[in-house]
Amino acid sequence: MLSLRGKVVIVTGGSRGIGATIAKELAKKGANVVINYNSSSDAAKAVVEDIESFGGSALACKADVASLEESKHLIEETKKQFGRIDILVNNAGITRDRSFKKLSEEEWYDVINVNLNSIYHTTSAVIHTMLEQKYGRIINISSIIGQAGAFGQTNYSASKAGMIGFTKSLALETAKSGITVNSICPGYIETEMSAAIPDNVLEQLISKIPMKRLGKTSEVAEAVLFLANSNYITGQCINVNGGVYM
Ligand code: NDP
């Protein structure tokens, strides 16, 4: 029986989709969970209420993780409330899909800032706390697109591949200090992000998935829970993709 009783977790982008499910599943195992969000305050409050309804402990914290200052605020608020930080789940992410020849500078930088620069912001703000504790779990939600690429997603693919490289290098640097750093590469998961994919494109994508269905947010949360409880796994990337990329 996996338990996270007493552990303190931050889930960036915990207000909706995959992040909201991760937050609830970790809270069910006894963790105190900080639900970070940028604009969906009602959704973040609903996640907190849901967790409290089953006796769990949670706090919503607004911070744009594309900003170093706001990410520092997220870490400080968590320490103020719970005294420590055991697990950081870097989940916040956006897409701004367009073929490269039409991609604007803003669309490039928005995605790199929210998906990739964010993990520098949150991790740099938390790493010294974890080093002092001699304990930490950093779990980065990357994507199959960072491994395989996709038409119209140069910005997103670069950001997600960057997360994998970051994971491996930081894992090397922190392995002897009780900190593990891993990434998860979900395939196509049922959320608002995948709902934005046109129906005909989605049908084609599903036909190529060996399991012939989209993944569930709970199936990504299972991998997070597994990594949160693992001691000897670091620098790895776990694929949760129904077999579509091996
Ligand atoms: P959603 O669009 O459903 O949710 C995204 C979450 O990120 C929201 O909680 C949102 O909060 C938050 N967020 C966005 N920008 C910021 C920001 N600047 N600061 C803080 N929080 C922010 O996405 P998914 O649940 O589908 O995706 C979650 C992660 O999983 C992403 O990193 C995504 O790239 C990755 N992924 C998703 C796949 C899928 O098929 N859905 C497949 C592979 C990877 P708010 O509304 O408050 O801004």
pLDDT at 99: 98
Please say whether the beta carbons of 228 and 234 come within 8 A. no
- Average pLDDT of 141-161? 98
pLDDT at 1: 61
Q: Domain boundaries in the chain? A: 8-240
Crossing angle of helices 217-228 and 17-28, in 10° steps, is: 50
8 C-alpha to ligand 1 centroid (Å):
21
Q: pLDDT digit string (tens) for 167-210? A: 999 999 999 999 999 999 999 999 988 888 899 999 999 999 99
The residue with tokens 């706001």 is 70
Instruction: Kindly give the number of the ligand 1 atom that is closest to the alpha carbon of 115.
Output: 32
pLDDT at 98: 97
**How far apart are the C-alpha atoms of 186 and 121, rounded to whole Å?**
22
pLDDT at 64: 99
Annotated catalytic residues are 156
Residue 104: how many other CB atoms lie within 10 Å: 11
Q: pLDDT digit string (tens) for 11-64? A: 999 999 999 999 999 999 999 999 999 999 999 999 999 999 999 999 999 999
2 band by pLDDT with thresholds 50, 70 and 90: confident
3-class SS of residue 79 = helix
Q: What is the pTM of this model?
A: 0.98
- Ligand 1 in reach of 71 Cβ (< 6 A): no
CATH number, domain 8-240, options 3.40.640.10, 3.40.50.10740, 1.10.540.10, 3.40.50.720:
3.40.50.720
- Ligand 1 in reach of 19 Cβ (< 6 A): yes
The residue with tokens 């010294």 is 128
- Ligand 1 in reach of 13 Cβ (< 6 A): yes
